[in-house]
Structure 1
Amino acid sequence: MTSEWTLEALGQIVTGKTPPKAVQNAYSDSGMPFLTPKDMDGRKWVLTTERCLSEEGTNSVRKSIVPAGSIAVSCIGSDMGKAVRIPVDSVTNQQINTLIPNAEKCDPDYLYYLLSTMQQDLKDIAGGSATPILNKGHFGKVQVQLPDIRHQNQAAKILAALDDKIQLNNQINQTLEQMVQAIFKSWFVDFEPVKAKIAALEADGSEEDALLAAMQTVSGKDEAELTRLQAEQPEQYAELRATAELFPSAMQESELVEIPEGWECLALDQIAKYQNGLALQKFRPENEDDYLPVVKIAQLKKGYADHEEKASPNIKPDCIIDNGDVVFSWSGSLMVDTWCGGRAALNQHLFKVTSENYPKWLYFHFTRHHLEEFQRIAADKAVTMGHIKREHLKSALCAIPDGKFIESAGKVLSSVLNKQIELRLESKYLSELRDALLPKLLSGELSVSETANQTLEKVEPTNV
């Protein structure tokens, strides 16, 4: 059985507030999170906000602080109906109404999931103006149907398990990203293991001393920790030693800077092929049921193909992307990513990056290494859509080791990149599963007990 409730009866509603202009230094890099619709990125929990409030800013809007666990809903414009849960005490701007749910009357998670399905309902209530607004009074009178609390609890538990696994995958990927960026910079940009060997030899150390210095740099362990590693995990120690042995113990002049002896200085377009996409408005599908979704810069930023535009599946294969492909937008918002949004057609202004001679991790990380400089070049152009040219790929130089080193380094760097892709694809699948289950669980079409058993099997802890 379901009962109709108004949001007003299910908890306290607070409309956000922006600190008055008279308050100086109202914002800061840390402090009270200040939530706006821009911070609502489709995830259940808002983990970070673009801005925070200083102590002065917080004091000026203290009556508008909402507690952890509240449900924030955007109530203006195109963002109307976006819903998130707030993990810590926060303040929102006035474009958001926040519901502080009464847990005795409803399951807060269930109510969040219910509100997340009501975007169109809220837009209809707000009316058809150019910038629809749903004020606190109208928002509070929105009616929702709630089943008994037991069904709410069980349905919310299933949906939350999926969201929690997605969030965990994201957190693991962030940790992996920090790790792999540090390794790549140390080995291929700053050449720290090589410099450690050189420093040891210049201090009259032996070749073994130089090797030990490189092992310490590669592993981040001191001599005592390495001795313990050798005793307790000899295979890992041997692998570390083999990797350190591959680093040269001298540098050489190059067109780039001094690079490790025996390495090559190559341009980006020498290590990879940068295939531009097509002007896909010229390649529309002949059959509306047989098409590829078009990926433009907007879709690359979202991380998925939204099927807003369609292209013929008969375009040349070089301009078709699939999961795991490296894509580089060279115009507008310059970014590099591994695509995880399924088979799609690549529009112009984006490169599909491939190589017949070098592994994916190498050209992906080197392209991203040069991205900041590319962004600077694009920003300096006095045009609406800043961009780079192929000549910039030719001038973006990279220090490339021999094949043996690349193979050894790839055991770490390739495995991390593959794991990141795997976790993203798993999160995509779990997100689609959640979205499919959501209306059926909320309506009671699916049995929560049977669905729980089937779903929880899919959210086992991830092995890294």
Structure 2
Amino acid sequence: MGAEWPVYQVSELEYQGKLLVQDGNHGEYRPRKSEFLDDGVAFIRAADFSSGAVNFHGAEKINLTALKRLRKGIGKDLDTVMSTKGTVGKIAFVPQGSPFYVCSPQTSFWRSLDHSFLLPEFLFYEMQSRQFVEQVGSRKGETDMAAYLSLTSQRSLYIRVPGIDVQKKVVAHASSLDKKIKINHKINQNLEQMAQALFKSWFVDFEPVKAKIAARQRWQALQPENEPASPVCYAAELDEQPAVGDLDTYMNRAAMQAISGKTTEQLDALRAEVPERYNELFETAALFSSAMQESELGAIPEGWDCLPLDSIAHYQNGLALQKYRPENEDDYLPVVKITQLKKGVADGEEKASPDIKPECIIDDGDVIFSWSGSLMVDIWCGGRAALNQHLFKVTSSSYPKWLYYHFTRHHLEEFQRIAESKAVTMGHIKREHLKQALCAIPYEPLLEAAGHQLGNQLGKQIILRLESKTLSNLRNTLLPKLLSGELTISSVEEARTEPQEAAHV
């Protein structure tokens, strides 16, 4: 199939008005340092796209003055963006509805001008085909400088353009997997946001405890036999007036509001409609103390411990793996450095002996903390690998993974500030900073209750990431075979209908 598709040179398609390829502005036309700002038009560099997607939010922005001076390189939705210098050939697709953007001099956009001839999505997949990647690889070393693919070289490349019906089927098969990966990514983003909000509320801001303190003050103030309560209040006004009942119940109801975000009326409805859920929420609220105590960290809930990060988890530094090369090229572990951690993939660029100490071998689900250069914390889901120096593998024999993961993330901003203040090329932190990073640790029953939510959420995130990895591998196996002709569209369609037919047997 793929071998029989018509082949066109890029310059020919540009001449026919079916394709447009442009790079960013060079020299006097490129944006100046003073023209970058926090809110403007995205200026896309190679670092701003990965895994086939563009990170518009994280990209630097330019102002209108710079935009008006530009002569080319203004991209829009349905483009395919390609890196052309350094890491040459990395591509990403710009989905429909995305904002317009500007290419840096080290990137270019490829745009179909005739969608009845060339689908933008098919162009994106064709640029991942083996025949196209090999062309790029053969041309990127034509200069004596760093790897570079000039605009002239890009226009000399060839792409295959089958009939539009074939394009639609290729896109349908490949994009179905991409869509599922994107859905998983979106779900994971939502799970992470919810987990961070919950963790901050319970273990940083102590909102349920403060809600109890505020409720007690209000309850006491409204008892006729008591003196007026202190005006100091730890939480916003509650929407519930004291009802007949004991103080503990009143405080627990306040904590329930802080935990769930529900109003009094909504809590009453929950008790009537789903009493099991109401009782579970009440029991969780009861686990929070109703007073604060002083600590090295400041005021923390009564009965909690104040511990440094290196007391709740072990931070194992990786190895200088250039000293541990494999003896056998077929028996090795891929090396994970900061680059691989960012990509989430152990790409095998470097290899290490599998006989390194087990503490420096990582696997799916491990918490990894990059403490030098680009500081970040992530859950590794890239398979079994060897951990290089400048990365910590974080473990604990005393506390659950969700706790030390979230507390390490909580302190990350301060760690980044410390690293940036270092007057060296590679900013970093030291072990003493782990000891200075204090954490409020609750008693066991509350840890267990929090684990039902935060631990389960983290587990779901890991499962979704591993599923996306499997889908990505399947897509990366399927797409080259579709594009090369090794696998026909009809055979893929037959394979996809077989499970459905079997399900009806």
Q: Which residue of 1 aligns with 2:6?
A: 3
Q: Which residue of 1 aligns with 2:116?
A: 104
Choose which of 128, 148, 154 in structure 2 pairs with 1:116: 128
State whether residues 23 and 56 of structure 1, in contact with CA within 8 Å, keep that contact through their aligned partners in structure 2: no
Report how far residue 137 of structure 1 moved. 4.5
SS in 1 for 2:7: strand
Distance 1:44 1:375 in 2: 26
State whether residues 338 and 391 of structure 2, in contact with CA within 8 Å, keep that contact through their aligned partners in structure 1: yes
Which stretch shows the higher mean deviation, 425-434 or 45-54?
45-54
- Amino acid in structure 2 at the alignment position of 1:51: E
Give runs of aligned pairs for residues 408-419 of structure 1, distance below 5 A: 408-419=449-460
Choose which of 187, 192, 195 in structure 1 pairs with 2:210: 195
Distance 2:33 2:350 in 1: 46
- Amino acid in structure 2 at the alignment position of 1:29: D
Which stretch shows the higher mean deviation, 234-243 or 351-360?
234-243
State whether residues 11 and 100 of structure 1, in contact with CA within 8 Å, keep that contact through their aligned partners in structure 2: yes
Number of aligned residues: 457
Give runs of aligned pairs for residues 430-449 of structure 1, distance below 5 A: 430-449=471-490
State whether residues 369 and 393 of structure 2, in contact with CA within 8 Å, keep that contact through their aligned partners in structure 1: yes
Q: TM-score, structure 2 length as denominator?
A: 0.83
Distance 1:339 1:329 in 2: 12
Give runs of aligned pairs for residues 16-165 of structure 1, distance below 5 A: 16-17=24-25, 20=29, 26-44=35-53, 47-48=56-57, 50-61=59-70, 64-74=73-83, 76-87=84-95, 88=98, 89-101=100-112, 102-117=114-129, 118-125=132-139, 127-129=141-143, 130-131=145-146, 133-165=148-180
SS in 2 for 1:106: coil
Report how far residue 279 of structure 1 moved. 2.7
Give runs of aligned pairs for residues 47-446 of structure 1, distance below 5 A: 47-48=56-57, 50-61=59-70, 64-74=73-83, 76-87=84-95, 88=98, 89-101=100-112, 102-117=114-129, 118-125=132-139, 127-129=141-143, 130-131=145-146, 133-204=148-219, 206-446=247-487
Structure 1 or 2, whichever has the larger Rg, is 2
Per-residue CA deviation, residues 50-99 of structure 1 (Å, 9 max, x unaligned), is 1234444444448654332122233x322322222223233323433323
Distance 1:151 1:316 in 2: 51
Compared with structure 1, are the counterparts of its residues 383 and 59 closer, same or farther at alpha carbon in structure 2 (3 Å cutoff)?
closer
Per-residue CA deviation, residues 167-206 of structure 1 (Å, 9 max, x unaligned), is 2211111111111111111100110110010011011253
Which stretch shows the higher mean deviation, 379-388 or 173-182?
379-388
State whether residues 252 and 261 of structure 1, in contact with CA within 8 Å, keep that contact through their aligned partners in structure 2: yes
SS in 2 for 1:12: strand
Compared with structure 1, are the counterparts of its residues 319 and 95 closer, same or farther at alpha carbon in structure 2 (3 Å cutoff)?
closer
Which stretch shows the higher mean deviation, 402-411 or 423-432?
423-432
SS in 1 for 2:161: strand
Per-residue CA deviation, residues 239-283 of structure 1 (Å, 9 max, x unaligned), is 222211111111111122111111111122221122222232333
Distance 2:436 2:32 in 1: 48
- Amino acid in structure 2 at the alignment position of 1:106: L
Q: TM-score, structure 1 length as denominator?
A: 0.90
Report how far residue 405 of structure 1 moved. 0.6
Q: Which residue of 2 aligns with 1:462?
A: none
State whether residues 25 and 71 of structure 2, in contact with CA within 8 Å, keep that contact through their aligned partners in structure 1: no
Report how far residue 110 of structure 1 moved. 1.4
Distance 2:265 2:428 in 1: 50
Per-residue CA deviation, residues 138-195 of structure 1 (Å, 9 max, x unaligned), is 4334221223322221111111111122122111111111111111111001101100
SS in 2 for 1:139: helix
Report how far residue 330 of structure 1 moved. 2.4
Which stretch shows the higher mean deviation, 256-265 or 3-12?
3-12
Which stretch shows the higher mean deviation, 143-152 or 168-177?
143-152
Which stretch shows the higher mean deviation, 6-15 or 220-229?
6-15
State whether residues 325 and 351 of structure 2, in contact with CA within 8 Å, keep that contact through their aligned partners in structure 1: yes
State whether residues 161 and 456 of structure 1, in contact with CA within 8 Å, keep that contact through their aligned partners in structure 2: no
- Amino acid in structure 1 at the alignment position of 2:92: V
Distance 1:131 1:272 in 2: 42
Distance 2:300 2:498 in 1: 50
Distance 1:364 1:457 in 2: 43
Distance 2:159 2:481 in 1: 16
CA RMSD of aligned residues (A): 2.6
Please, which runs of 5 or more residues in structure 1 have no aligned partner? 459-464
Which stretch shows the higher mean deviation, 61-70 or 261-270?
61-70
Distance 1:427 1:36 in 2: 25
SS in 2 for 1:258: strand
- Amino acid in structure 1 at the alignment position of 2:108: N
